[in-house]
Chain A
Amino acid sequence: MSNYKLPISKINQLFKNKELKPSELYAETFERAAITESIIHGHLELFQEENLKKALNSDKRYEKGKNLGTLDGIPIAIKDNINISGYATTCSSKMLSNYISPYDATVITRLKNEGALFTGKTNLDEFAMGSSTENSAFGPTKNPWDSSRVPGGSSGGSAAVVSAGSAIASLGSDTGGSIRQPASFCGVVGFKPTYGTVSRFGLVAFASSLDQIGPITNHVEDARLIFNSMKGHDPRDATSLIESKAKQPKLKNAKIGIIKELMEDGISEDAKKEVHKVAKLLEAEGHEIIEVSLPLTKMSISIYYLIAPAECSANLSRFDGVRYGNRVSGSTSSEMMELTRANGFGPEVKKRILLGTYALSAGYYDAYYGQALKARAMMKKEFTDIYEDVDYLISPTTPSDPFKFGEKSDNQLEMYMSDLCTIPANLVGMPAISIPTGLSSQGLPLSVQIMSPSNTDNTLLDFSESLESLVAFTEEPVINGVVS
């Protein structure tokens, strides 16, 4: 196995034992990027030049035996909706193609304090709205397993670069599945923590009550490592949680519920098969598997496509060409703003802003947005009640294996349905992880999703790690004729 596919703890051991230098790993990652990026287009910008010096500094720290943390010298890719001071933050939008951020997101500050290196910024669906990266203003990212297929989205770039080996790990953001769905499509691990455990300060908001930053990695233990480096209360985010003690699910002889509504119509046979396969493995380990029903799960797409657009319609109002962004001139400031927004936003972003504006407008609020908030409260109760009985919930991460470019871009509802299994975790705030478990009949990666009650993230990760070793998924994509 190449160094860039090793677990971070192993790499750290190699660094400490002076068997490998951070600058060597960094060079290796960029060599890998040179092979893969021309096909994959996962990075929008590579930081090679600037970070080489930082890698050499990391070398020196290890030489002195004074590394900052386990992440010291680890090249991590950052989704381009997370601010790094001095670099562009484009959100894959024409609106921000020239925008240079003057500040670091809290997660960036924390990773820098650990000594992590950044490979660059990764591609996404414009403002994180989409499930395929086809909505990027700078061209789509390709799936490392099959370049005629999408890598998923919106964190498609972040998932693809980890799969392709041009970064050891990456950060994504997840509003309705934007970490887990691309992780599944690219055959890597994607973790969405409990809402509020990782600071959102510096993450360009799509839907504030749903957005959460999380890691995309080759191994569950890497996800845990990065998550624990980033988490914790941030005084600059009013929704950031102060660590609270929750009743933890069991690690042994646990009770696991398969969500009935996520094993019905619209879910491919391949996807269902993976869930059953995993269930068997868990049963053999002494866990109990039951089927559970969460009826409102069927409403989750509707609830989500009211709440997220409503919030985004206000969150994206700030892009007006006044203080930053690509301005289109006009004779009055209001004309300038209308033209700037017409020119700067792509079709999907416009659609969601207008949908949210409509849902909040006079006369429609109660029927749509107001109704969605009530349904969300009911849904939360359904999940709280079910966790009285089970420790974890299991479902496919995605209804199918990766689809082809253009396959769903003409059918918006079908595209939206690809987030069916991932949306509930965002609506109710609980942690959820996608773990690759096998290949579909077409030889493409498939995953299962495990969920647990809010504030039980580390237990979920522990449980997932044991599942990961049970499944023992070791397949790798072949890119440009080269296996990673």
Chain B
Amino acid sequence: MADKIDIKNVAKLASIKLNQEEEDRLKNDLSMIIEHFDALSKMDLPDDKISIHPLGMSLNLAEDIASKSLTHKEALSNAPESKDGQFVVPPSLD
């Protein structure tokens, strides 16, 4: 199982840049944990029931009534960089 971890791809998906030392250590750590999951993965469990939420709960939808929340200033108050009322980031490619 452990050999299967493509740590570079996983880090890319998670958008975390890893150095070589981290890659090696994390690959090793994750492999150990995943090995521990073996017993669970091999269990024969019925397909018909899954539990996403701990309790069966009904969805309470919100009425479509708009209200004001953050001011423009508050929204931008933690921005690392902003200009002309917009958040600024290095160029993003489509």
- On A, residues with C-beta under 8 Å from B are 98-100, 102-103, 194-196, 209-210, 233, 235, 238-242, 299, 301-303, 305-306, 313, 317, 320-327, 329-339, 341-342, 345, 347, 350-351, 353-355, 357-358, 361, 367-368, 370-381, 412-413, 426-429, 454
Contact = CB atoms under 8 A, between A and B. Distances in A.
B79 to A, nearest CB: 6
Contacts of B51: 373-374, 376-377, 379-380
Contact of B14 (A324, A327, A357): A357
B93 A375 contact: no
Contacts of A233: 60
A368 to B, nearest CB: 6
B40 A302 contact: yes
B66 interface: no
Contacts of A320: 15
Contacts, number: 173
A324 B57 contact: no
A237 to B, nearest CB: 9
A238 B57 CA distance: 9
Contacts of A242: 60
Contacts of A103: 69-70
B10 A361 contact: yes
Contact of A194 (B10, B55, B60, B90): B55
Given A354-B26, A378-B49, A239 B78 contact: no
B55 A429 contact: yes
B29 interface: yes
Interface residues of B, number: 53
B26 A302 contact: no
Contact of B10 (A238, A358, A429): A358
B13 A357 contact: yes
Nearest to A298: B39
B54 A333 contact: no
Contacts of A99: 78
B90 A350 contact: no
Contacts of A429: 53-55
B55 A338 contact: no
A101 B75 CA distance: 10
Nearest to A240: B60
Contacts of B20: none
A329 B90 contact: yes
Contacts of A353: 14, 16
Contacts of B85: none
Contacts of A235: 60, 62
15 contacts: A103-B70, A209-B53, A305-B33, A320-B15, A321-B80, A325-B80, A326-B80, A333-B89, A333-B90, A334-B93, A341-B17, A342-B16, A347-B22, A371-B40, A381-B49
Interface string B33-52: 11011011101011101111
A100 B60 CA distance: 30
Nearest to A411: B32
Contacts of A102: 70, 74-75, 77-78
Contact of A355 (B30, B60, B70, B77): B30
B16 A354 contact: yes
